[in-house]
Amino acid sequence: MKKRISILGATGSIGTQTIDILSSIDAEVVALTTNRNIELLEAQARALKPKVCAACDEAAAKQLKIALADTDIQVQSGMDGLIAAATHPDCDTVVTAVVGMVGLLPTLAAIRAGKDIALANKETLVCAGQLVMDSAAKYGVKILPVDSEHSAIFQCVQGAQGNALDRIILTASGGPFFGKSADELKTVTREQALQHPNWSMGAKITTDSATMMNKGLELIEAMWLYGLPEDQIDIVVHRESIIHSLIEFADGAVLAQLGLPDMRLPIQYALTYPERLPCKVPRLSLAEIGRLTFFAPDDAAFPAMRLARRAAREKGNLGAVMNGANEAAVGLFLQDALPFWQIPELVAFAMDEVPMQENPTLDDILESDRAARAAVNHWKMR
Ligand code: NDP
Ligand code: MG
């Protein structure tokens, strides 16, 4: 059946790879959004002929409107534009590929409008996992994971025949600083942090991979998607990124999903599930790879994983606080305004500083995010 999709964050790493696999699947694009890369968005719009385009940045949206004036594509701006793209009546599936908690409101709006979600934007579940999963259940929509680890788990779960999972094992590449001590991390640079060994991704998630916060965010994402508590989710460093994650059953049997590190396969599976179609990704040759290695994660050097375990245990608004503080700290780091090693320190500071709330409403979540960002910026000004 033809998929009619809206792509939020079409100009990013996941967005462009989504567009790349469209020729392999039966799909029509209803909406595309960017923050401010209107040159690329215009080219995408001319090729794919969506009904709606949106640029979140108001000035960029004005320029986009002029650029697309000779077409009948509607151009919108800001959060309203993102929500219009996410809820367009012609669309049945929304690919959420914006970066950061800015994805939360459009994702919730899409769920309420009955759209299935191909979820790349992990910050949404980290901030508001309970609200998002509750609304998905209420409106009967699917949350289809795009993140490679969660897609791997989802693919393995297809063989579970209703048996409960005993354990999830998330694999982590270890990022560019694998093997470094806390002391050695004091002198690493932005350029080094942005050199990921296996994946080419946006700057925020690449930094998260370097601090290992990415694996922490993924632990919380897995908890909400698969309903397992934090102490049944393990993390193992697997440098080659060939095994994308594993699940274990009561009898100790372990299932894994393998493949070359290429996001196009998990993106495609989220859009064709339960069907499998030929995919552009090169095939795996284990003999060529030769060896797969595994290590225990080092949470003394990379404390972000411990912070995420705390947020996963305590729940409430703590995920939103941790995520907001992390987005603010990573933003400072990417502007060369904060050393690498202080990112987890600032996140820990905000988690202690912002008051805990047990059953946060959406407004509480948004307020916790603001308070966490303010705590980081305030700490920085001291
Ligand atoms: P990118 O930075 O490459 O792209 C982000 C997209 O979101 C761009 O289209 C960008 O527009 C848009 N955007 C950025 N800020 C805003 C904003 N404030 N409002 C609206 N739109 C905005 O990120 P990635 O594609 O790497 O990651 C996207 C999401 O997917 C993240 O949550 C990430 O954690 C997750 N993910 C990514 C993976 C990957 O391989 N890249 C793997 C697994 C998960 P513009 O082009 O103007 O900046
Ligand atoms: Mg991942």
Query: Looking at the CA of 215, which ligand is closest?
Result: 2
Hunting for tokens 């989504």 — which residue is that? 18
Whose CA is closest to atom 43 on ligand 1? 147
Q: Which of 53, 18, 19 is nearest to 37 (CA)?
A: 53
The residues pairing with 54 across neighbouring beta strands, listed in sequence order, are: 33, 76
Q: Whose CA is nearest to atom 42 of ligand 1?
A: 147
Tell which atom from ligand 1 comes closest to the C-alpha of 124. Answer: 32
**Predicted local distance difference test score (pLDDT) of residue 1:** 81
Ligand 1 atom, smallest distance to 100 CA: 32
Ligand 1 pocket test: which of 104, 119, 196, 201 has the largest number of ligand atoms within 8 Å of its C-beta?
A: 201
pLDDT digits (tens, 9 = 90+) for 129-182: 999 999 999 999 999 999 999 999 999 999 999 999 999 999 999 999 999 999
User: So what's the pLDDT on residue 186?
Assistant: 97
Q: Let me know: does 143 contact 226? Beta carbons within 8 Å.
A: no
Alpha carbon distance 11, 230 (integer Å): 34
On whether the CB atoms of residues 12 and 202 are closer than 8 A, the answer is yes
Q: State whether residue 21 is helix, strand or coil.
A: helix
Contact at 8 Å (CB) between 8 and 84? no
Atom of ligand 1 nearest to the CA of 60: 47
Query: Do β-strands 167-172 and 93-96 pair in parallel, antiparallel, or remain unpaired?
Result: unpaired
- Provide the whole-model pTM: 0.98
196 confidence band (pLDDT: 50, 70, 90): confident
pLDDT at 199 over 90: no
Q: Which residues line ligand 1 (CB under 6 A)?
A: 9-15, 34-37, 56, 97-99, 102, 120-123, 147, 199, 201-202, 205, 263
How many Å apart are CA 66 and CA 275, to the nearest integer? 40
For residue 171, the SS3 value is strand
Q: What is the pLDDT of residues 259-318, one digit of tens each?
A: 999 999 999 999 999 999 999 999 999 999 999 999 999 999 999 999 999 999 999 999
Enumerate residues 6+ apart whose C-beta is below 8 A from 74: 51, 52, 53
> Torsions phi, psi of 117, nearest 5?
-115, 120
Cβ-based neighbours of 282, under 8 Å, separated by 6 or more: 260, 262
The label of the residue with tokens 């705390």 reads 310
Q: What is the pLDDT of residues 114-135, one digit of tens each?
A: 999 999 999 999 999 999 999 9
* Candidate of 205, 206, 241, 334 to mutate for ligand 1, largest count of ligand atoms within 8 Å of Cβ: 205
Measuring from atom 32 of ligand 1, which residue has the nearest CA? 121
Separation of alpha carbons 64 and 151, rounded Å: 34
